[in-house]
């Protein structure tokens, strides 16, 4: 059996047609949902690329794995999906973005060559890179040996940084080359032809991987598209597939800007939020964001068709998700980072080809599921067992296999953020350790605990769009305390004793000591 683990970067759940978008027609992703199970209340563990992906890859919460920014490496002792799958004889590769930062200090301490197989796996969240392609590289941070740049040069697209000069540039009405970093240019087509764009290149390399595998091989390909993440620039024809008439109204309310919570206010003050609060910006950027999603959907269709052609579709579990969402002007915000639904809720679809899943195809699951559930799900499918001392999620296969659902499931979702390396920290003038926030969401409440600042509270039944912050309302003191206690209970249950197998703990105690001749306290 094989696994195709698809992740799109910064893809909002509600910007897929199977999740209710009125204009986007993501037919290939919709087909996956129709032949599998779609989770309607799936949440990332952190609305930021690196921390979120670390949870997707370890099955552990941010406070456990310690990756709190895009530049934090995983601790050397953290086991990942790749480690668990290799233990059962499955190769794990990444094609596209992993957002893994090498722990160079630890690698040097243990004398592990970064170019070795072990070094590459440890540097890329446990995956062996078949084609590592994060893509967002302006000139000052351009890495050496970027495969996409080599590919572009081989097709006649020259320059020191072809990705920047062709894929992230356009030609304006005056014939001048302009940058995709300026959102004003979002409506222009990228200079690079569609067949050589970032998304197309990622698909090409995924197909090359599928062509390279032996039918007897067992593999997991993490196909990780960098789009629709910014810069918001799409190649022809996707740049013009949608227009401002397809832009749905922003979910925001003037009451949100009246005496806002300090952390929320600091994020509203950032340039990306100020700009996305303007209708001109939304009407320029969102059609391109939609076009990028349409392009990704079309290319996912190419990959699925190739799976069929290779005779691999019936032996491959397919999982599709996103690392986080994108505000796009909702709640007067741009980017991600905070805990409103556009940022923290993600799509999650699981399509199991096994006959045992035939009774659940097309199911929509409303229970709370989380990014940490992906690792135990994939490990169980591969025939392995995720260690209880490490894994903080639960396998989702019972939802995929059992017609009657799953008893005793969680009744809340948790997410965390550390904004110590983000602009709001300096605006708030706080210590980096005071930049951590945690969310707990139930069907009734969304409670957010902030270090150094007052909490936030939203009544989701009466205020489903999260406009009215009850975090300091004296009438809701008991509700805040109840949710604080729930969050504290969760926090106390995090798994930090990861090196000792849980089953061995039952064998320890005074009886074993005495058997070994350790006679503590005897007269």
In contact, 410 and 368? CB cutoff 8 Å = yes
What CATH number did the domain enclosing 470 receive?
Answer: 3.40.720.10
Specify if 488 maps to a domain.
yes
- Structurally, the chain folds into a number of domains equal to 1
**How much is the pLDDT for 257?**
96
Q: Give one DSSP letter per residue of 373-417, joined into a string.
A: GHHHHHHHHTT----TTT--S---HHHHH-TT--SS--S-EEEEE
Specify if 141 maps to a domain.
yes
409/359 Cα distance (integer angstroms)? 20
**How much is the pLDDT for 518?**
85
159/157 Cα distance (integer angstroms)? 7
In contact, 376 and 84? CB cutoff 8 Å = no
Specify if 131 maps to a domain.
yes
80/56 Cα distance (integer angstroms)? 9
56/370 Cα distance (integer angstroms)? 9
The answer to whether the Cα torsion of 276, 188, 159, 229 is positive or negative is positive
Specify if 89 maps to a domain.
yes
Specify if 521 maps to a domain.
no
Specify if 523 maps to a domain.
no
Residue 323: φ, ψ to 5°: -80, -25
**How much is the pLDDT for 55?**
98
**How much is the pLDDT for 507?**
77
Residue 105: φ, ψ to 5°: -65, -45
Q: Give one DSSP letter per residue of 184-229, joined into a string.
A: GGTTSBBSS-GGGSHHHHHHHHHHHHHHHS-TT--EEEEEEEEEES
338/261 Cα distance (integer angstroms)? 12
Specify if 272 maps to a domain.
yes
- Long-range contacts made by residues 28-33, C-beta under 8 angstroms, separation at least 24? 28/297, 28/298, 28/300, 28/301, 28/304, 29/297, 29/300, 29/320, 29/347, 29/349, 31/304, 32/304, 32/318, 32/320, 32/349, 32/351, 33/349, 33/362
Give Cα separations from 232 to 7, 246, 457 (angstroms). 18, 16, 33
Q: At what angle do helices 279-309 and 198-212 cross, to 10 degrees?
A: 20
**Number of other CB atoms surrounding residue 172 within 10 Å:** 11
Q: What length does the chain have?
A: 523
Q: Are strands 445-450 and 436-441 parallel, antiparallel or unpaired?
A: antiparallel
Give Cα separations from 130 to 92, 147, 496 (angstroms). 10, 10, 32
Q: Are strands 456-459 and 316-322 parallel, antiparallel or unpaired?
A: unpaired
In contact, 390 and 59? CB cutoff 8 Å = yes
367/1 Cα distance (integer angstroms)? 27
Would you state the structure tokens that stand for residue 170, as one six-digit string? 């356009």
Q: What pTM was computed for the model? A: 0.96
Would you state the structure tokens that stand for residue 138, as one six-digit string? 């302006």
Mean pLDDT in consecutive groups of 10 residues from the start of the chain, 523 residues: 97 98 97 98 97 97 96 92 95 93 88 88 90 85 89 95 96 97 97 98 98 93 97 98 97 97 98 98 98 98 97 96 98 97 98 96 97 98 92 96 86 97 94 96 98 97 98 98 97 91 78 82 85
**How much is the pLDDT for 504?**
81
Structural domain boundaries, residue 147: 2-515
Specify if 256 maps to a domain.
yes
């Amino acid at each position: 059996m094989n696994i195709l683990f698809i992740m799109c970067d910064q893809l909002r759940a509600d910007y897929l047609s199977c999740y209710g978008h009125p204009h986007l027609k993501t037919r290939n992703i919709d087909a996956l949902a129709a032949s599998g199970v779609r989770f309607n209340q799936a949440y990332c563990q952190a609305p930021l690329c690196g921390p979120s992906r670390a949870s997707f890859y370890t099955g552990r919460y941010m406070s456990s794995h310690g990756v709190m920014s895009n530049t934090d490496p995983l601790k050397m002792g953290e086991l990942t999906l790749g480690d668990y799958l290799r233990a059962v004889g499955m190769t794990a590769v990444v094609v596209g973005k992993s957002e893994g930062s090498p722990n160079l200090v630890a690698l040097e301490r243990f004398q592990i060559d970064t170019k070795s197989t072990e070094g590459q796996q440890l540097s890329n969240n446990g995956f062996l890179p078949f084609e590592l392609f994060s893509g967002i590289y302006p000139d000052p941070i351009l890495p050496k040996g970027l495969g996409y740049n080599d590919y572009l040069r081989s097709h006649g697209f020259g320059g020191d940084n072809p990705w920047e000069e062709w894929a992230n540039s356009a030609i304006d009405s005056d014939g001048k080359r302009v940058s995709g970093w300026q959102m004003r240019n979002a409506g222009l087509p990228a200079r690079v032809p569609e067949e050589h764009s970032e998304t197309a290149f990622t698909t090409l390399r995924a197909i090359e991987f599928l062509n390279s595998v032996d039918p007897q091989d067992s593999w997991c390909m993490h196909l990780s598209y960098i789009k629709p993440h910014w810069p918001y620039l799409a190649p022809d024809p996707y740049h013009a597939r949608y227009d401002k008439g397809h832009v749905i109204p922003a979910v925001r309310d003037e009451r949100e800007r009246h005496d806002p919570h300090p952390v929320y206010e600091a994020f509203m003050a950032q340039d990306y939020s100020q700009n996305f609060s303007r209708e001109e910006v939304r009407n320029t950027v969102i059609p391109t964001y939609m076009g990028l999603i349409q392009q990704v959907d079309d290319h996912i269709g190419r990959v699925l068709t190739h799976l069929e052609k290779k005779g691999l579709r019936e032996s491959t579990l397919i999982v599709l998700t996103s690392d986080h969402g994108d505000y796009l002007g909702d709640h007067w915000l741009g980017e991600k980072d905070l805990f409103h639904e556009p940022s923290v809720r993600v799509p999650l679809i699981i399509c199991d080809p096994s006959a045992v899943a035939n009774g659940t195809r097309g199911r929509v699951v409303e229970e709370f599921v989380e990014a940490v559930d992906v690792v135990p799900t994939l490990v169980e499918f591969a025939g392995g067992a995720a260690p209880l001392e490490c894994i903080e999620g639960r396998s989702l296969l019972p939802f995929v296999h059992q017609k009657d659902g799953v008893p005793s499931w969680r009744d809340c979702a948790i997410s965390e953020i550390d904004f110590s390396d983000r602009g709001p920290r300096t605006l708030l003038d706080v210590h980096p350790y005071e930049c951590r926030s945690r969310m707990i969401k139930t069907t009734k409440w969304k409670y957010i605990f902030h270090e150094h600042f007052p909490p936030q509270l939203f009544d989701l039944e009466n205020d489903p769009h999260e406009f009215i912050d009850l975090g300091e309302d004296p009438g809701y003191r008991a509700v805040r305390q109840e949710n604080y206690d729930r969050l504290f209970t969760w926090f106390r249950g995090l798994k930090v004793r990861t090196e000792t197998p849980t089953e061995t703990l039952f064998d320890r105690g005074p009886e074993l000591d005495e058997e070994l001749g350790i006679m503590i306290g005897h007269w």
